Chains A and B, each alone.
Chain A
Amino acid sequence: MQQLLTFTIIGLSTGAIYAVVASGLVVTYTTSGIFNLAHGATGMLSAFTYWQIRFDWDLPAPVALFITLFVLCPLFGIATERFVMRGLQGTTEVVRLSVTVALFAFMIGLANWIWPNDASREAFLKFFEGNSISVGGFNVSWHRLITFGCAVVVAIILRIVLYKTRMGVAMRAVVDDRNLTELNGGRPDRVSMFAWGISASLAGLAGILLAGDQQLNIEPLVLLVINAYAAAIIGRLKSLPLTFLGAGLLGLLDAYYLMVSDEDWFPQSVFGFSLSGVRAALPTMVLFIALLVRPQSRLRVGTTKLREANDVPEWRTAILGAISLVAVIVGISGMLTRSNTLLLLNGFTFAMVTLSLVPLTGYAGQMSLAPLTFAGLGAIAMSKLPGNGNLISLAAAIAIVAIVGAIVALPALRLSGIYLALATAAFAVMVSKIVFNQRQTFQTGNITVPVLRVPFITIDSPRARLILASVCFSLLGLIVVAVRRSRLGRRLVALKDSPVAAATLGMSLTRTKLAAFAISAGIAACAGALAGDKVSPQQYDFTQSLPIVLLAVVGGVSSVAGALFGGLLLGGNSVLATIVPTVKNLTKIGPGTVGITLGRNPQGAAAQIGDAFRPLTEQPRLIAIAAAGSIGVWALDATEIISHWSFFVASVVWILAVSPNLAALMSAGSRRRLVAGVWLAIGMAIAAGIDWSTALDATGKRIILTIGLVALFGVGAQRVAENAPRVHVASPDLAGLDANFSREDIELAEQKIGVVL
C-alpha cells in the first residue's frame, strides 16, 4: 500500500511535466496547424538558459525564472512564429513538419555549440534541493510538489486565457476561420505570435522542471517530450482537459510499470526476447494505440491550394542522369582519398534512404519518420540470411522488409498527415528500444553486414563499393521513375492530391497506401542491406531519421534528384565537419538552418537548381557545350596538367557558374556576350590555372574559395547577360497579366476550369 502511494506520487509528478509540455503542443497546433516537433528542443534550450543564469551566473532563482520563462521564451516563440512559421501558410503538412524538424536540429546544434558537454560544470539543482515533506509516511521532495503545482496552475491559467479573454477566444477563432477573424478586425498574425510565445514558455517550464530530475543532458530532455506527444494525441490535439488526463495516465503507467517490473514474479524475457527496453517504449506504445483508436478523420472535401507542383520525370532525363551519375563517380572516385571515398559512400547510403521517401512522401504524400528503421531491419536481414551477401539474399532482405513495411502500415492505414507521421515515429522508437537491443538482432552492440557479392566482379575496395553504391542508387532511382510513370504512380499522386476524389473514382486507398509503404520499406531495406560494413543500432535510431526526412524535403522530396541532393548534403555535412574545423560549429546548425528556409521555397533545393539549368536543357547545343567543358576539365586532370584540387574547383565553377549562364549568354547582345564571356573565362582561368593543392593549405579554405568563385563569377555573369531582353515565349498563363483576356481566352479558361455558363 505504502509502495503504491509512493509510485502514485512519482507517477503524478512525471505526468505533470508531460501535461505542461503537451498543453504547449496543443496550443500551437490548434492555432497554427503546425505540430511542433521542436517543442521539446525549446524546453531543452530553456533549461540550459536557466542553468546559465541561475547556476553559472549565480542569480537568484526567481530572477532566473522570470528572465527565462517570461522574457526569453516568449521572445523566442514570437521570433519562431514571425520568421519561420508564418511563411508556411499554404504549404503541405510534410513541409510544415519538416520545418519543425529543422528547428529541432538547429536548436540541438545550438545547444551543443554554446554548452559543449562538460562534466565539471555546476550541477543543475532541483527547486529547494534537499527539502521534503512527509505525505502518508513517504517523503515527497518539494521539487515534486512544485512540479505538480505548476501543472495545476498551468491548467487554470490556460483555461482562463482561452475562454475568458478576447485574445484566447481569438486564438480559437483563428483555428475555425482565419479570414473571418480578420474580417472581424482580429489580427491572426498577432494571435499566432501570442500562441507561440505561450507555447515556448510552457516548453521552457517543463524543460526546467525536467532538468531538475534528469540533469542537463540534451537527449533525454528532447526525447522525453516525445512521451508528451502521446498525451497530446489522447487529447486529440485540441482538448486540453483530455490532454491533462492523458498526461496523468502516462505518468502513472510509467511509475506502476517501474513498480511491478521490480517484483520477483515479473518475467525478464518472453520467449527468449528481453523485456528490458519495454519501459522506455511504453509512452510510444500508448501513442501508437491512442492513434489507432482515434476516430477516423473526415475526408475533407474542398479546394486544395498547394504551392508545390511537380512534373512527371522523363525517361530520357532519368536515363541520362543515371548514366552520367555513374560516369562521374567512376571518374572522380580514382582521385579521392580513402577517407573521402568512405564519406561519399556514406552520402550515397543516406541518398538511398532518402530515395525511399520519394514514392511514399513525395508522390503519395504520406509522411514517414521511420526511414532508417527499415534500413536497420534491412541490415539485420542481410547479415542473418544465409548466402553471405549474394544477390539472392539481397533480394530476400528487400522482400522481407517490404512485407514488414506493409504489415506496419496496415494498422496505420486509416491515419494520414501528422497522425501518420507520429505513428511512424512511435514505430521507430518502439523498434529501436525493443527490437534493436535484442541479442538476436544486434547481439553485442553491432553486427557486420556482408558486402554484396556480384558474379564475376569482386567488390572489396572502398572505391568499388562507392561505384556499386552509385550504380545501386541509379537503378533504384530508375525504378522510382518507372513507378511514377506507371498506373501505380498516378494512383500515388492521386492519393496525395485528393483522397476524396480518388476514393469516389473507385480507387482503393488502402491498396495504394500499402503499395507505397512496401516500396518505400523495400528501398530503405536495400540501403541498409548494402551497408557492407559494421553497423550499430544507434545508426538506425529515430533521431537519426529526422535529419534524413528533413534533407529529403530540403532537396525536394518529389524527385530522385532531390533525394540524391539531400542525401549527399547530409553526407557532405559530416565531411565538412571533419575537414573544416573552423566551421565545425556552423555545420552543427547547418541542416537546421537550411531547413528553416523551406518556408520560402517549399519545392526544395533540387527544384530550384533544376530551374536554373532549365534553359540549358532546352537546347541540345548548349548541353553539348556544357558536357564538353566538363570532359575537358576532367581530361586536364587525367593528363595531370592540373591537380585534383584544381580539377575540383574548376569543375564546380564550370557546372554551377558557367553552364547555367550559357543560355543567357547565347541570347545576349554581342557586347554583353563579350563582357560576360570574358568574365566567365577569367573565372575558369583562376579556377583551373592555379594549383589549389599548394596555394591553400586547408581543405576548408579550398571549399570556401570554390563557393566564393561560383558566387562571384556565376552571379556576375548572370547580371551582365540577363539584362538583355529575354526571348519572349507566349504562354497561355500570361494572358490576362500583360494583356486583357480576349473572348476566346475566357471561353478556353472557363472550359478548362469547368465553369459552364
Chain B
Amino acid sequence: MSVSPILELRNVRAGYGSINVLHGVNLSIARGEVVALLGPNGAGKSTTIKVISGLLRPSAGHLIVAGRDVTGASASALARAGLCTIPEGRGVFPNLTVRENLLMATFSGQKLGDIEDKTYARFPRLGERRTQLAGTMSGGEQQMLSLARALATDPVILLLDELSMGLAPLIVAELYAQVATIATEGVSVLVVEQFARTVLGVADTAVLLAHGTVRMSGKASEISDDVLAGAYLGP
C-alpha cells in the first residue's frame, strides 16, 4: 500500500545567516505515524522543527504537507491548516491566564467553549486554575496547558520539541502517556528529544540526525543502545 506521506522534507537546507545548519535533510512521516527525531546537541533537531512549523524558511529544498508543496508558507497559515507545534521550553504565554491561553488556540477554528471542555476534562487541574496566569503555574502544569492545545484543537500533525526539558521524570511519563493517546486518535506526531529512551517507547519510527543530515532511520524498537551511543559520542 502506498499512501502519500502526510509530511515530507525533501533535501532541506536551512540555517541562520551565513551559518548553515541543515545540509539536505530528507524525512517523511506517514499518516498516523509517530516519529522520534533524535540526535546530539547541535544536530539540527530544533532547526528541523522550525522549518516544518514555518518559522524558518529553508534556503533550499521543499516542505510538503499532505502532497502539497508548502515551502515558504507562514507559521500562522500552517497552524491554521492543522499543524500544531509545541515549541521548545514552555509553549504557553506566561502573562495570559489559562483561559486566555486557550482562547489563543481558537485560531485553528475551534470554539473556545469546546476547547475549554476538552482541556478541563483531560486536565482537571487546569480547570481549577483557569483564571490564573500561566506563568505562575508549575512547569508540569504549563506543559499540560501547551499539550492541551494539541489535544483540543484536533490537529493533523503534531510537532513536539523537547517536551521533557526541565521536568521531573514522573511528569514526563504522564505527558508522554497523553502523547500516546493523541497518536491513537490518528494524529501524525513528530517528537524531538535529546533523551532518546523517554521517547522510543512511544514512537513507531526513529530518525537519527547528526551534523545536519539524517544518519539513519528505522523502526524505533530496533534502535540499539550501541547505535545511539555511536551517534551521540561519535565513532
Most buried by B among A169, A173, A185: A185
Q: A187 to chain B: which residues have CB within 8 Å?
A: 74, 76
B204-219 residues at the A interface, CB under 8 angstroms? 211-212
Query: In whole angstroms, how far apart are the Cα atoms of A740 and B103 in the complex?
Result: 44
Q: B124 to chain A: which residues have CB within 8 Å?
A: none
Q: Given A166-B104, A169-B104, A188-B76, output 13 extra A-B contacts at Cβ < 8 Å.
A: A172-B95, A176-B96, A179-B87, A182-B76, A183-B53, A183-B85, A184-B104, A184-B107, A185-B79, A185-B108, A736-B23, A741-B20, A757-B41
Residue of B nearest to A756 (CB): B41
- B58 to chain A minimum Cβ distance, whole angstroms, is 14
Q: Mark A139-181, 1 if CB is under 8 A from B, else 0.
A: 0000000000000000000000001001001101101110111
- B129 to chain A minimum Cβ distance, whole angstroms, is 17
A733 and B87 contacting across the interface, CB-CB below 8 Å: no
Q: Which of B54, B76, B94 contacts A186 (CB under 8 A)?
A: B76
Q: B19 to chain A: which residues have CB within 8 Å?
A: 736, 749
B80, CB-defined interface residue at 8 Å: yes
B170, CB-defined interface residue at 8 Å: no
Given A176-B96, A733-B18: A182 in contact with B75 (beta carbons within 8 A): yes
B176, CB-defined interface residue at 8 Å: no
A219, CB-defined interface residue at 8 Å: no
B41 and A755 contacting across the interface, CB-CB below 8 Å: yes
B93 and A176 contacting across the interface, CB-CB below 8 Å: yes
Q: A179 to chain B: which residues have CB within 8 Å?
A: 55, 75, 87
- B112 to chain A minimum Cβ distance, whole angstroms, is 8
Q: Which of A185, A734, A746 contacts B211 (CB under 8 A)?
A: A746
- A237 to chain B minimum Cβ distance, whole angstroms, is 14
Residue of A nearest to B77 (CB): A185
Q: Which 8 A-B pairs have the closest CB atoms?
A: A185-B107, A185-B79, A736-B20, A182-B75, A176-B93, A185-B80, A183-B85, A733-B18
- B234 to chain A minimum Cβ distance, whole angstroms, is 6
Q: B87 to chain A: which residues have CB within 8 Å?
A: 179-180, 183
A737, CB-defined interface residue at 8 Å: yes
B106, CB-defined interface residue at 8 Å: yes
A173 and B104 contacting across the interface, CB-CB below 8 Å: yes
Q: Which of A181, A734, A746, A749 contacts B104 (CB under 8 A)?
A: A181
A56, CB-defined interface residue at 8 Å: no
A750, CB-defined interface residue at 8 Å: yes
Q: Which of A741, A746, A757 contacts B40 (CB under 8 A)?
A: A757
B105, CB-defined interface residue at 8 Å: yes
Residue of B nearest to A183 (CB): B85
B57, CB-defined interface residue at 8 Å: no
A757 and B234 contacting across the interface, CB-CB below 8 Å: yes
Q: A183 to chain B: which residues have CB within 8 Å?
A: 53, 55, 75-76, 79, 84-85, 87, 91
Q: A749 to chain B: which residues have CB within 8 Å?
A: 19
Q: A757 to chain B: which residues have CB within 8 Å?
A: 40-42, 232-234
Most buried by A among B40, B41, B42, B54: B42
Given A169-B103, A755-B41: A184 in contact with B94 (beta carbons within 8 A): no
A173-211 residues at the B interface, CB under 8 angstroms? 173, 175-177, 179-188
Query: In whole angstroms, how far apart are the Cα atoms of A735 and B211 in the complex?
Result: 14
Residue of B nearest to A176 (CB): B93
Given A755-B41, A757-B233: A175 in contact with B211 (beta carbons within 8 A): no
Query: In whole angstroms, how far apart are the Cα atoms of A163 and B100 in the complex?
Result: 8
- B85 to chain A minimum Cβ distance, whole angstroms, is 5
Residue of B nearest to A733 (CB): B18
Residue of B nearest to A165 (CB): B103
Query: In whole angstroms, how far apart are the Cα atoms of A176 and B91 in the complex?
Result: 11
Q: B80 to chain A: which residues have CB within 8 Å?
A: 185
Q: B106 to chain A: which residues have CB within 8 Å?
A: 166
Given A169-B100, A169-B104: A741 in contact with B95 (beta carbons within 8 A): no
B41 and A740 contacting across the interface, CB-CB below 8 Å: no
Query: Which secondary structure dominates where chain A touches chain B?
Result: helix
Residue of A nearest to B18 (CB): A733
- A264 to chain B minimum Cβ distance, whole angstroms, is 52
Q: Mark B13-40, 1 if CB is under 8 A from A, else 0.
A: 0010011100100000000000000001
Q: Which of A175, A186, A737 contacts B95 (CB under 8 A)?
A: A175
A755 and B42 contacting across the interface, CB-CB below 8 Å: yes
- B139 to chain A minimum Cβ distance, whole angstroms, is 16
Query: In whole angstroms, how far apart are the Cα atoms of A750 and B44 in the complex?
Result: 13
B211 and A184 contacting across the interface, CB-CB below 8 Å: no
Given A184-B107, A185-B79, A750-B42: A176 in contact with B20 (beta carbons within 8 A): no
B149, CB-defined interface residue at 8 Å: yes
Given A172-B95, A736-B15: A166 in contact with B103 (beta carbons within 8 A): yes
Most buried by A among B23, B107, B232: B107
B94 and A741 contacting across the interface, CB-CB below 8 Å: no
Residue of B nearest to A731 (CB): B18
Query: In whole angstroms, how far apart are the Cα atoms of A181 and B41 in the complex?
Result: 26
Query: In whole angstroms, how far apart are the Cα atoms of A390 and B91 in the complex?
Result: 66
Q: B212 to chain A: which residues have CB within 8 Å?
A: 741
B93 and A173 contacting across the interface, CB-CB below 8 Å: yes
Query: In whole angstroms, how far apart are the Cα atoms of A186 and B18 in the complex?
Result: 29
Q: Which of A172, A186, A736 contacts B107 (CB under 8 A)?
A: A186
B149 and A734 contacting across the interface, CB-CB below 8 Å: no
Residue of A nearest to B74 (CB): A182
B96 and A169 contacting across the interface, CB-CB below 8 Å: yes
Residue of A nearest to B91 (CB): A180
Query: In whole angstroms, how far apart are the Cα atoms of A325 and B91 in the complex?
Result: 56
Query: In whole angstroms, how far apart are the Cα atoms of A187 and B80 in the complex?
Result: 10
Q: B232 to chain A: which residues have CB within 8 Å?
A: 757
Q: Mark B193-235, 1 if CB is under 8 A from A, else 0.
A: 0000000000000000001100000000000000000001110
Q: B100 to chain A: which residues have CB within 8 Å?
A: 163, 169, 172-173
B96 and A741 contacting across the interface, CB-CB below 8 Å: no
B79 and A182 contacting across the interface, CB-CB below 8 Å: yes
A741 and B23 contacting across the interface, CB-CB below 8 Å: yes
Query: In whole angstroms, how far apart are the Cα atoms of A541 and B192 in the complex?
Result: 58
B105 and A184 contacting across the interface, CB-CB below 8 Å: yes
A345-364 residues at the B interface, CB under 8 angstroms? none
- A573 to chain B minimum Cβ distance, whole angstroms, is 35
Residue of B nearest to A735 (CB): B20
- B94 to chain A minimum Cβ distance, whole angstroms, is 6
Q: Which of B40, B84, B93, B107 contacts A177 (CB under 8 A)?
A: B93
- B47 to chain A minimum Cβ distance, whole angstroms, is 13
Q: B95 to chain A: which residues have CB within 8 Å?
A: 172, 175-176
- B75 to chain A minimum Cβ distance, whole angstroms, is 4
Query: In whole angstroms, how far apart are the Cα atoms of A185 and B109 in the complex?
Result: 9
Q: A188 to chain B: which residues have CB within 8 Å?
A: 76
26 A-B contacts (beta carbon < 8 Å): A166-B103, A169-B100, A172-B95, A175-B95, A176-B95, A177-B93, A179-B55, A180-B87, A180-B91, A180-B92, A181-B76, A181-B104, A182-B55, A183-B53, A183-B91, A185-B108, A186-B107, A187-B74, A187-B76, A733-B18, A734-B18, A736-B18, A736-B19, A750-B42, A757-B232, A757-B234
